[in-house]
Amino acid sequence: MRTAEIRQRFLDFFSSRGHALVPSAPLPTPDPTLLFVNAGMVPFKPYLTGEAAAPWARAASVQKCVRTLDIEEVGRTTRHGSFFQMCGNFSFGDYFKEEAIRFAWELSTTPVAEGGYGLDPGRIWVTVHHSDDEARALWRRIAELPDARIVARGDEDNFWSMGVPGPCGPCSELYYDRGPAYGEAGGPAVDEDRYMEFWNLVFMQYERGEGTGKSGYPVLGELPRRNIDTGMGLERMATLLQGVDNLYETDETRPVLDRAAALAGVRYGDEEQADVRLRVVADHVRTALMLLADGTAPGNEGRGYVLRRILRRAVRSMRQLGYEDAALGELLAVARDRMVDSYPEIADAYERIAARAGAEEDAFRATLRQGTAVLDTAVGRVKEEGGRQLPGAQAFLLHDTYGFPLDLTLEMAAEQGVEVDREGFAALMREQRERARADARARKSGGTADTSALRAVLDAHGPTDWRAWDTLTTESRVLALLGPAGPVPAAEEGEIVTAVLDRTPFYAESGGQESDAGTLSGASVEAEVLDVQRPLPGVVAHRVRITAGALAPGGSVHAAVDPEWRLGARQAHSGTHVLHAALREILGPTALQSGSYNRPGYLRLDFPWRGALSPAVRSEVEEAANRALRRDLPVGVRWMTLPEAKELGALALFDETYGEKVRVVEIGGAWSRELCGGTHVEHASQVGTVALTSESSVGAGMRRLEAAVGVEGFGYLARERDLVTRIAEQLGAPRAELPDRIAGLLDRLKAADRENQRLRQHATDARAAELARAAEPVDGVVTVTATSEEAGGTDDARALATAVRDRLPARAPGIVAVGAPAGERAVVVIAVNRAAREAGHDAGALVRRLLDGRGGGSPGLAQGGGVPAARLAELLARVPRLTAPSH
């Protein structure tokens, strides 16, 4: 039975038993504690915890999930996978244990011909919590299971909670005996390879208090409404029903593995190390396909970094298998064909998916080439200095700059007999993460209040009445003032605090749109609004500076958005939509926005694309955008359900959070139709103009357009016109001839530069030959020094030093020192030939001794600086003494 059919049978079964079928939520989750949905219950968490009323009494879903905590184990065992699908049925105060047990038993054991899975009832075992006599009795009665196949277990295995105070309860797990070929007899307590868990039923009936671990907390009592949360692993059920050994051999994964093996010219099962790599490829390609389909883009932090790491591990594994050509295109197509029956939207998004993955693969293959050279140089330096450990800073540089995963650095260094300072690397990674977290916390809270204080305001007063779509002013009451240490009784002139109002007209930064500017004014206070954020769902926090008087909780204020600011913001946000639509009109549907930012007068838009846009294409995009403005396309807003919006073709960014109803902004109807919570103009012509100012790279396969909008757009164009006029006047040429005239000037400058370089090289060669001829050995070492009169800068000093060194007799030890002034300071370059190095002389060590530790380099060439230029002659005179035998 194919996995897609197993999935559909699950949904059909529970639909026929009164469950609402809930589509899988996108993998990126709005839960601030998670990057991706990692369990089937995550989208239902607010209903299970009582934070929100469930819209259904009972529901069922097949939820896409990604877990990456044990990503290093993927492929090493056949039990770990980073992407999986969890089938679940849920009851919100409706049915409880008896129905949950009956449903699981019926679907598992009903014959295939009658819509079930047809598992042999005699091979199913269950576990229950040791205190749950009710569940044990139900299994005896409903399934007629003997006591021998109902295994009691403790809190560690069969008691569930979220790890924090809230709902908890016992659970019951279903296992299937796969037979003696898979392990020892005796049930799941003996061998969980032979006895495979395939379904877990959680009975949420208690409330737990504070505590740690699986049992270090008190159970406070019964919940007022008991819930059911179950999870049946789709891949595990497929493993059982398809009669294969593990999840890598099911119909959705094995074809990817086989194609990878064919490309690499290996056979699965012949060699364990190759098998591990093939399993990594098969898992990671499928995971990347699903993440890309749900809108995640490769990046350097958060979700984007997880995806980037997964893609790069797949590419690296193919390389380790001996296949160095691009492979992701072929492998993703195989995964698409296997997943599309369950997720048809993959076919629609595949062009975009393949483009992003291909760009990432191209970049990483280039990274491997560049990073390998950097690593080889660093390892060579460690060995030359007699060391055995690559510094953590070097490993961090490879990771941060070249995208090398640490495990790749470890492996490649080990191949050359060098270890890596993992502790030093980890310390630098911790510092980087802490900086990023601090920045994110400061931005989200406006730098003045923590979320616990804001949570208390929300609990006490409810959500903010947000009016930004409807008005620029409100009469508001100050609910709370918050500082870094929590609530403050008042704020006086000059102080900056976070103010929470009962209602507000201010737009809080979101969806790429910067927050509004404006004022709060009252009988005895004036305050400037500096920033507006939503640090918690439902709470709008205003960072304000008191400009006159004092502000206190309970006071009434007139909240007013700066109308000019809002107009500029509306122009920029609508301009972003217009530019996005124009981009897709010219480049096609794969040029899908992956990020944006807009403020009055300015916008930027990121999109996946391989290679820079030519000037002609940029002009086409700009013209398409401004053509829409000239046509004065109408701007409209409609509310609808998310499925209705998708059916209409509205573009959605899956990293955003959407409720039951979504807001669709249209510009010219279907020409631009996006889910958006921002503020917009009423007609396209109100944007004024969109003037592209920049097109650049912001990462592998990702481009960025920047534009000036509205009055600032016209101002930008006027400045460009004035600049062109001045250049034309200076060159004495008509505007139309400027490109040719400037190209001619550049050609002449390049020719002059080449001639200058030739003359300088000639002078250097002549001076080097003269110095080398005049050199005489002292104590067996030929030492040559040259002052700044012979070299006009650091580059010239290096060139002269190496030129003299290369002209000295090869068999005699030779040391050359050249000094060059750099302002009031001086630079010294030392070059050492092979014979001198074999005699024990080291350029790096000589520079450090000469300049008191300021400098370094390789044994053959080194430099240092920072000393007064006036001491240059004295320093060069010391060089022969440093090379004498006594030293």
Do the Cβ atoms of 21 and 60 come closer than 8 Å? yes
Residues 199 and 235 in one domain: yes
Question: What are the residues whose beta carbons fall under 8 Å from the beta carbon of 644, sequence distance 6 or more?
Answer: none
**Is 887 annotated in some ligand binding site?**
no
The residue from 232, 249, 266 where one domain ends is: 249
Q: What is the pTM of this model?
A: 0.60
Calpha distance 493→496 (Å, rounded):
9
**Is 577 annotated in some ligand binding site?**
yes
**Could you tell me the two tokens for 368?**
């491997």
Residues 389 and 455 in one domain: no
The boundaries of the domain holding residue 408 are 254-435
444: pLDDT strictly greater than 60: no
Calpha distance 783→775 (Å, rounded):
7
Q: What is the pLDDT of residues 326-352, one digit of tens each?
A: 999 999 999 999 999 999 989 988 988
Residues 492 and 602 in one domain: no
Angle between helices 3-15 and 97-109 (to 10 degrees): 140
Mean pLDDT for the stretch of residues 39-50: 87
**Is 683 annotated in some ligand binding site?**
no
Residues 548 and 605 in one domain: no
Burial state string for 786-824 with b = 16 or more CB within 10 A and e = fewer than 16:
bebebbeebebbbbbbbbbbebbeeeebbbbbbbbbeee
Residues 289 and 397 in one domain: yes
* Listed residue (64, 42, 417, 352) closest to 235, CA to CA: 64
Do the Cβ atoms of 834 and 861 come closer than 8 Å? no
Do the Cβ atoms of 167 and 161 come closer than 8 Å? yes
Residues 422 and 543 in one domain: no
Q: Is residue 748 part of a domain?
A: no
Select, from the ranges 383-397, 560-574, 808-822, the one with the highest average predicted confidence (pLDDT): 560-574
**Could you tell me the two tokens for 792?**
């006009």
Residue 135's CATH number: 3.30.930.10
Q: Is residue 732 part of a domain?
A: no
323: pLDDT strictly greater than 60: yes
The residue from 402, 435, 468 where one domain ends is: 435
The 10 Å Cβ neighbour count of residue 424 is 17
Q: What is the pLDDT of residues 201-216, one digit of tens each?
A: 999 999 888 887 777 8
Residue 448: pLDDT band with limits 50, 70, 90: very low
Mean pLDDT for the stretch of residues 823-828: 81
Task: Give the pLDDT of residue 654.
Answer: 47
Residue 878's CATH number: 3.10.310.40
287: pLDDT strictly greater than 70: yes
Residues 498 and 642 in one domain: no
Residue 688's CATH number: 3.30.980.10
Q: Which residue has the tokens 């669709």?
A: 664
Residues 556 and 581 in one domain: no
790: pLDDT strictly greater than 70: no
Q: Is residue 819 part of a domain?
A: yes
Residues 406 and 342 in one domain: yes
Q: Is residue 739 part of a domain?
A: no
Residue 493's CATH number: 2.40.30.130
**Could you tell me the two tokens for 237?**
């059920």
753: pLDDT strictly greater than 90: no
Residue 684: pLDDT band with limits 50, 70, 90: very high
702: pLDDT strictly greater than 50: yes
Residues 279 and 426 in one domain: yes
Task: Give the pLDDT of residue 656.
Answer: 52
Calpha distance 598→709 (Å, rounded):
10
**Is 65 annotated in some ligand binding site?**
no
Task: Give the pLDDT of residue 848.
Answer: 85
Q: Is residue 749 part of a domain?
A: no
Residue 494 CA neighbour count, 13 Å, CB half: 0
Do the Cβ atoms of 103 and 14 come closer than 8 Å? yes
Residues 375 and 420 in one domain: yes
Task: Give the pLDDT of residue 115.
Answer: 93
Do the Cβ atoms of 248 and 282 come closer than 8 Å? yes
Residues 239 and 259 in one domain: no
The lowest-confidence range among 41-55, 237-251, 554-568, 685-699 is 41-55
Taking all residues of the chain, what is their mean pLDDT, rounded to a whole number? 88
Domain count within the chain:
5
Q: What is the pLDDT of residues 603-613, one digit of tens each?
A: 999 988 877 88
Cα-based angle 555, 557, 563 (whole degrees, multiple of 5): 165
Task: Give the pLDDT of residue 674.
Answer: 92
Mean pLDDT for the stretch of residues 612-627: 92
Q: Is residue 401 part of a domain?
A: yes
Residue 449: pLDDT band with limits 50, 70, 90: low
Burial state string for 842-869 with b = 16 or more CB within 10 A and e = fewer than 16:
bbbbbbbebbeeebebbbbbbbbbebeb
Q: Is residue 874 part of a domain?
A: yes
410: pLDDT strictly greater than 90: no
Do the Cβ atoms of 248 and 301 come closer than 8 Å? no
DSSP string over 780-846: TEEEEEE-GGG-SSHHHHHHHHHHHHHHS-TTS-EEEEEEEEETTEEEEEEEE-HHHHHTT--HHHH
Q: Which residue has the higher pLDDT, 12 or 79?
A: 12
> At 132, is the secondary structure helix, strand, or coil?
coil
Indicate left, alpha or beta for 388 from its phi (over 0: left) and psi (-120 to 50: alpha).
Answer: alpha
Task: Give the pLDDT of residue 445.
Answer: 47
Q: Is residue 604 part of a domain?
A: yes
The residue from 249, 281, 305 where one domain ends is: 249
Calpha distance 494→313 (Å, rounded):
53
